[in-house]
Copies of this chain bind each other. A is one copy, B any other.
Amino acid sequence: MSTASREIQLAARPHGEPKPTDFRLAEVELPDPGPGELLVRNTFMSVDPYMRGRMNDTKSYVPPFQLDRPLDGGAVGEVVVSNAEGLAPGDVVLHQLGWRDHAVLPGAHTRKVEADGLSESAFLGVLGMPGLTAYVGLLDIAGLREGDVVFVSGAAGAVGSLVGQIARLRGNTVIGSAGSPEKVAHLVDDLGFDAAFNYKDGPVAGQLAAAAPDGIDVYFDNVGGEHLEAALGALNRNGRVALCGAISVYNATEPPAGIRNLALAIGKRLTLRGFIVSDHFDRLPALHAEIGPALRDGRVTFRETIVEGLDQAPQAFIDLLRGGNVGKMLVKL
Contact partner, A271, options B259, B262, B273, B276, Cβ 8 Å:
B273
Q: Are A275 and B266 in contact (CB under 8 A)?
A: yes
**Bound CA–CA A268/B269 (angstroms):** 22
Q: Are A276 and B272 in contact (CB under 8 A)?
A: no
Residues of B within 8 A of A224 (CB): 262-263
Cβ of A80 under 8 Å from chain B: no
| Contacting residues of chain A (254-274) with chain B, CB-CB under 8 angstroms | 255-274
Within 8 A of B (CB), among A198-245: 224, 228, 243-245
Contact: A265 with B260, CB < 8 Å? Answer: no
- A67 near B: Cβ within 8 Å? no
Chain B residues lying within 8 Å of A85, measured Cβ to Cβ, are none
Instruction: Name the contact of A258 in the complex, choosing from B259, B265, B274, B279 (C-beta under 8 A).
Output: B259
Contact yes or no, A271 B272, CB < 8 A: yes
Q: How far is the CB of A119 from chain B (nearest CB, A)?
A: 29
* Residues of A contacting B: mostly: loop
**At the interface, yes or no: A60 with Cβ under 8 Å from chain B?**
yes
Q: Tell me which residues across on chain B come within 8 A of A295, comparing CB atoms.
A: none
Closest CB of chain B to A290's CB: distance in Å?
24
The answer to whether residues A228 and B273 also contact, given A60-B267, A267-B60, A267-B61 and a CB cut-off of 8 A, is no
Q: How far is the CB of A43 from chain B (nearest CB, A)?
A: 30
Pick from B256, B266, B268, B274: contact of A245, CB below 8 A: B266
Q: How far is the CA of A274 from the CA of B265 in the complex (A)?
A: 5
Q: Cα distance A231–B264 when bound, in Å?
A: 18
By beta carbon, the residue of chain B nearest A268 is B274
CA distance A305 to B236 in the complex (A): 37
Residues in B neighbouring A255, C-beta threshold 8 A:
260-261
A246 contacts the other chain (Cβ, under 8 Å)?
yes
> A266 vs B220: C-alpha distance in the bound complex, in angstroms?
12
Residue interface bits A87-121, CB-to-B below 8 A is 1, else 0 = 00000000000000000000000000000000000
In-complex Cβ contact of A272 among B258, B265, B267 (8 A): B265
- A-B contacts, 25 of them at CB < 8 A, read A224-B262, A228-B262, A243-B262, A243-B265, A243-B266, A244-B266, A245-B266, A246-B266, A249-B263, A256-B260, A256-B263, A258-B258, A258-B262, A259-B260, A262-B272, A264-B274, A265-B272, A265-B273, A266-B275, A267-B274, A267-B276, A269-B273, A269-B274, A270-B274, A272-B272
Chain A residues with CB under 8 Å of chain B are 60-61, 224, 228, 243-246, 249, 255-276, 279
